[in-house]
Chains A and B, each alone.
Chain A
Amino acid sequence: MTRLAWSLPRLGEGRSTSERLGTGLLVGAALLLCAFLILPLGVLLLGSLFDEAGELSLVRFAEFASTPGMGRAVWNTIWVAVVVTVLTVPLAFLYAYAIQRACLPLRGVWRIVGLSALLGPSLVGAISFIQWFGTQGVLKSWLGEHSVYGPIGIIISTVYASFPHALMILVVALATADARLFEAAEALSASRWRKFVTVTLPSARYGLISAALVVFSYSVSEFGIPKVIGGNFPVLAVEVYVQVVGMHNFGRGAVVALLLLFPVLLAFLVDWRIQRKQQASLTARAVPYVPRPDWRRDLPLLAYCVLVSVAMLGVLGMAAYTSLVKFWPYNLELSLTHYRYGLAEAGVLDAYLNSLKIAGLTTLVGTPFIFLVAYLVEKNRSGPAWLRPLVQGAAALPMGVPGLVLGIGYILFFNHPSNPLNGLYHTLAIMVIANVVH
């Protein structure tokens, strides 16, 4: 606070109007981020720390810990997330590697197909896998004795749904490489594998860790997939949903939400630490690496891309096919009845339009806001020095915060009768804000 007091009076002196404006905007952005991000998350934290009577206590945590089945849910959530991460990251890395570091034909096509899972909500994968491997599934025999309902289904669906997220990060991480290092390694007679381990992997290390953290957080906070394909397999995200939506137990919901937030905080800490290390090793002299054709590398990678693409399209195709079939799996005649029913059914059309409206407004409001903040952080050298990293950090935070957690934070914060922003609750605006922040 002393530093704020120190620097504020100096803002006006001898500075151009544009600089003052820049500082003002930066302060404004900081306040907005505070109101719509930090405070709700803070309330969430407090909500979990106070008991019914308003006393500071860990009662809610104790309560939570003693809830039957919670231990199982925590354990399930963690091991499923670990397995998903261990599967998704290497799969996506190899795919990104094929796109960026090999000379493949149709690179653009592989890239789009690889990202195709983003086209639908996360549920699409789960539904499609039920069609493929479920009780009536065409490929049920592939799973042998195992049922797709449960951890297996959750894992493959989450791998499918989180694959494009990891892919996006890794494609960027592998986009630039320093050709000098490859040449140095080449000149020192390093084998293909050694070059990969000593040059490729270290330069993509940051992207790999980011991707792993994103996939892990995704898996932990995803509740649609376990709800659809999880059978009786308890996981935390579904538990929050049950507590908040089903039982209106906000306090316990807050505890679980906080647990979901834990991997995110961890992720941030790690991220921040690597970023500092990374800075030292980046130099401006880097020469961009351009791969040359080499069939011994390109052919296996092409085969891999085709394989993954076929699988991805298979999942998407089955979902599309199912939506067109009359009554799967008993009447496979194609028709648009589902669409007509689905759309006409009370509320669905409204909900659909609302979703569109929210998405549109989010883009409209969010994009300029994001650009403005990014611009201010990057270009504006005025204002107190501590403000910039603060805004930067706060702006990056929601990337990792599960939407569900933010949602609960919002409910607790804006629903509070004494909050001056209470009017926003239950409106379209709050949905838009939530989306922008996210």
Chain B
Amino acid sequence: MEHLEIRNLTKRFGAFVALDQVDLAVARGEFLVLLGPSGCGKTTLLRAIAGLERQDAGEIFHGGDEISQRSPALRDFGIVFQSYALFPNLTVADNVAYGLKSRKADRGVGRDGVRRRVAEMLDLVGLPGIEHKYPAQLSGGQQQRVALARALATAPDLLLLDEPLSALDAIERVRLRSEVRQLQTQLGVTTIMVTHDQEEALAMADRIVVMKSGRIQQVGAPRDIYRAPANDFVADFIGRGNLIEGAAAGARHVRMRNLTLRCAEPLAPGRSHRFYVRPEDICLYDTLDRCENSFYAQVQKHEFLGAYSLVTLHAHDLAEQPLVAQFSSNYLAGRPIAAGATLRIGIPPEHLRPMPEPA
């Protein structure tokens, strides 16, 4: 059995189904990210794992024990909320020590032990020496670090993070993002984090769980989710993409309007397929280059975004709707792209991915 296992979990709020028969397994030491649009049930799932929300059906197993009916106090986890939720009337030291003083087992540590542990935790989150401050005297990022220290002080077996970074400004968010991930790796604590920021999910996760309307859409490593979305929703939700329709012409070839392209993956002959192409997978060739899977397209719009450019193209032979390509500035190497120009572009066979179709 996996370290944490969720079976068939269902949660309703009145008639509204917030979690619909969710099955999920989390390995020990893994950093799992729950990703999905607002209202899809990420927080509800996290709170059900914590015991702060009681499921209507299903079971949760932690380390082999069923914990579905236990109160939060009897489950072994630390939690960090989106909005810090530090105790405003307690000092940083008392906040961090809060959980230590709750547990009977830790009473034996004594006051010195608690003080040492607090100092150790504050060191760990990079805020040594702020024991005597009050939460109101700290910045958002500092408060969230203290909240993290508070959650980790009891050395929990499971760390739950509910959008821990979303209340912070962009720079602080990126900085704390890598700190949290580094800390998690260092401590090896199994972690489940909720976010609706796909970049954050891709950057931090070992595995990503994409959710929609209370159901899990796809579970996989960031690269797999990005490269091979399991359905339209995931494809649409993670990054930009182009959907191109075509009919299979042979096992490895596909016919699109006036073009026949080769595809690296085997196709069911005669069936029509939809292909998923990431903007950054589109290549730019010399105008006279005739290499495989290349064709002409006309530039409709060009957006320069610093590190890369977004180019909207119309390839008459390929599809009716426009194609979005992303070229890094490095790749373009100063080559000018102007609206109205005709370019020779191509889709390498390995990047022409057929979407899994519902049977």
Binary interface encoding of chain A residues 185-202 relative to chain B, with 1 for a CB under 8 A from any of its CBs, else 0: 111111100100011001
Q: A283 contacts which chain B residues (CB < 8 A)?
A: 83
Q: With A188-B98, A188-B150 given, is the CB distance from A181 to B87 under 8 Å?
A: yes
Partner of A186, one of B73, B87, B88: B73
- Closest-CB distance, A323 to chain B (whole angstroms): 49
The A interface, classified by DSSP as helix, strand, loop or mixed, is helix
Indicate if the CB atoms of B103 and A198 lie closer than 8 Å: no
Measured CB to CB, the closest approach of chain A to B97, in angstroms, equals: 10
Contact check, A187 vs B90: say whether CB atoms are below 8 A apart: no
| Contacting residues, chain A, for B102 (C-beta < 8 A) | 188-191, 194
Given contacts A180-B81, A183-B52, contact A189 B87 (CB under 8 A): no
Question: Quick check: is A281 within 8 A (CB to CB) of the other chain?
Answer: yes
Q: Residue of B at shortest CB range from A201?
A: B89
**Interface status of A184 (Cβ within 8 A of chain B):** yes
Residue of B nearest to A287 (CB): B83
Residue B154 at the chain A interface, CB threshold 8 Å: yes
Within 8 A of A (CB), among B37-80: 50, 52, 71-74, 77-79
A280 within 8 A of B: yes
A180 to B83: give the CA distance in the assembly, Å: 9
With contact pairs A280-B136, A281-B136 given, residues A198 and B90 touching in the complex (Cβ less than 8 Å): yes
Q: How far is the CA of A186 from the CA of B134 in the complex (A)?
A: 21
Contact across chains for B85 and A180 when beta carbons are under 8 A apart: yes
Closest to B154 in A: A188
| A194-B102, A198-B89, A198-B90 as given contacts; A186 in contact with B83, CB under 8 Å | no
Give the CA-CA distance A51 to B102 in the complex, in Å: 64
Decide if A285 is an interface residue (CB 8 Å cutoff). Answer: yes
Q: How far is the CB of A261 from chain B (nearest CB, A)?
A: 32
In the complex the two chains form, is A187's CB within 8 Å of B89's CB? Answer: no
B348 CB–A CB distance under 8 Å: no
Cα–Cα, bound, A186→B92 (Å): 18
Question: A202 near B89 (CB under 8 angstroms)?
Answer: yes
Partner of B72, one of A186, A191, A202: A186
**Chain A residue at minimum C-beta to C-beta distance from B94:** A198
Within the assembled complex, what's the spacing in Å between the Cα atoms of A183 and B90? Answer: 16
Q: Within 8 Å CB of B99, what residues of A?
A: 188-189
Are A187 and B77 CB-contacts (below 8 A) given A194-B102, A280-B136? yes
Report the separation of the CA atoms of residues A205 and B99 in the bound assembly, to the nearest whole angstrom: 23
A194 to B154, CA, bound (A): 17
**How many B residues are at the interface, by size bracket?**
20 to 34
A285 CA to B90 CA, complexed, in Å: 18
Distance, CA A189 to CA B52, complexed state (A)? 12
Residue in B50, B78, B87, B135 with the greatest tally of chain A CB atoms within 10 Å: B87
When the two chains form their complex, are residues A184 and B89 in contact, meaning their CB atoms are under 8 A apart?
no
Q: Which residue of B lies closest to A199 (CB)?
A: B87
A184 touches B154 (CB 8 A): no
**Measured between alpha carbons, how far is A205 from B89 in the docked complex, in Å?**
10
Chain A residues near B150 (CB, 8 Å)? 184, 188
- Specify which chain A residues have a CB less than 8 angstroms from the CB of B73 in the assembled complex: 186-187, 189-190
Which of chain A's residues has its CB closest to B102's CB? A189
By size class, the interface of chain A is: 20 to 34
Please pick, from B50, B86, B101, the residue contacting A187 in the complex, using a CB distance under 8 A.
B50
Interface residues as binary, A152-196 with B (CB distance below 8 Å gives 1, 0 otherwise): 000000000000000000000000001011011111111100100
Q: Which residue of A lies closest to B147 (CB)?
A: A184
Contact A186 B52 (CB under 8 A): yes
Contact B72 A187 (CB under 8 A): yes
Q: Is A190 within 8 A of B52, CB to CB?
A: no
Instruction: Give CA–CA (A142, B279) in the complex, Å.
Output: 88
> A90-117 CB contact bits vs B (8 Å, 1 = yes)?
0000000000000000000000000000
Set of chain B residues within 8 Å of A183, measured between Cβ atoms:
52, 72, 79, 81, 85
Quote the shortest CB–CB distance from B83 to chain A (angstroms).
4
Q: Are B81 and A184 in contact (CB under 8 A)?
A: yes
Partner of B52, one of A178, A187, A280: A187
- Selected contact of A190 from candidates B81, B98, B135, B136, CB within 8 Å: B98
Contact B89 A281 (CB under 8 A): yes
Q: Could you say which residues of chain B place their CB within 8 Å of the CB of A280?
A: 88, 134, 136
C-alpha gap A183/B72 in the complex (Å) = 9
Instruction: Give complex CA distance A185, B50 in Å.
Output: 13
The answer to whether A187 touches B103, judged by C-beta atoms less than 8 angstroms apart, is no
Determine the distance from Cα of A427 to Cα of B77 in the docked complex, in whole angstroms: 71
Interface residues in A187-230 by Cβ distance below 8 A to B read 187-191, 194, 198-199, 202, 205
- Decide if B78 touches A187 in the complex (CB within 8 Å): yes
Task: Decide if A184 touches B103 in the complex (CB within 8 Å).
Answer: no
Interchain nearest-CB distance for A290 vs B (Å): 13
Docked pose: A185 CA to B339 CA in angstroms: 59
Report chain B residues within 8 Å CB of A281. 88-89, 135-136
Known contacts: A188-B102, A189-B103, A190-B102. The answer to whether A181 contacts B52 by CB under 8 A is no
Residue of A nearest to B106 (CB): A189
> Which residues of the partner chain B approach A188 to less than 8 Å between Cβ atoms?
98-99, 102, 150, 154
**Inside 8 A of B72's CB, which chain A residues have their CB?**
183, 186-187, 189
Q: What 6 A-B pairs are tightest by C-beta distance, nearest first?
A: A281-B88, A188-B99, A202-B89, A180-B85, A285-B83, A280-B136
A-B contact pairs, 25 of them (CB 8 A): A178-B85, A180-B81, A180-B83, A183-B79, A183-B81, A183-B85, A185-B87, A187-B50, A187-B52, A187-B72, A187-B77, A187-B78, A189-B72, A189-B73, A190-B73, A190-B98, A190-B102, A194-B101, A194-B102, A198-B87, A199-B87, A205-B89, A280-B88, A280-B136, A281-B135
**5 more CB-based (< 8 A) A-B contacts, given A184-B79, A188-B99, A198-B89:** A184-B81, A184-B85, A187-B77, A202-B88, A280-B134
